[in-house]
Amino acid sequence: MIMTMIDNQLKKELLDVVTQCYSIAEHVLARRFPRPDVLFNQRGKIAGCALLQKNTIKFHPKIYEQNKAHFLTHVVPHEIAHLLVWQLFGKTPPHGREWQHIMVNVFNLPPTRTHQYNVDNIGIKHITYRCDCGDVELTMRRHNNVLKGTIYRCKTCRQNLTMA
């Protein structure tokens, strides 16, 4: 089990930004929105995730700690925009026109879909596989899929990957 320990001060700073984002959205959109539950248990390489029907946002604690300033100004509004779009429009494409509109016109941010943070040292374990090109690192999730029968191929030589 992965422990997601995060400093209380960092939690408070992020929660304050959530509150600020909702204040901005309510002012611009002239309506109130229910506040989400905020969790710090996102795993993998994803910085944040909005669980629309649960009105919950999950953030990756290590990615947040390593990229605090940018994370607070970009990832937090990004995930809140997903919840706002769900509450305003219902089901829409995840990064569609409605979401882009909220990002640009409410949060005054570029509607970027993915982060560019370095995730090399956030504790993701890899297993080495091989092909004719050389070694390929697979995450534990993909390794477990291989154990269940999934076959992965090299993107370059198209050969099936085998455990090193």
pLDDT, residue 5, reads 62
My answer on whether 91 and 61 are in the same domain is yes
Residue 14 falls inside a structural domain? yes
The chain-wide mean pLDDT, for the chain, equals: 91
Note the pTM of the prediction, 2 decimals.
0.77
Q: Which residues pair with 139 in a beta bridge?
A: 126
Is 79 part of the annotated catalytic residue set?
yes
Q: Alpha-carbon distance 71 to 17, whole Å?
A: 10
pLDDT surpassing 70 at residue 3:
no
Backbone angles phi, psi at 153, to 5 degrees: -115, 150
Q: For residue 143, what are the domain limits?
A: 126-163
Exactly one of 13, 26, 65, 79 is catalytic; name it: 79
My answer on whether 14 and 71 are in the same domain is yes
Where residue 27 sits, what CATH number does that domain have?
3.30.2010.10
Domain total in the chain: 2
Residue 87 falls inside a structural domain? yes
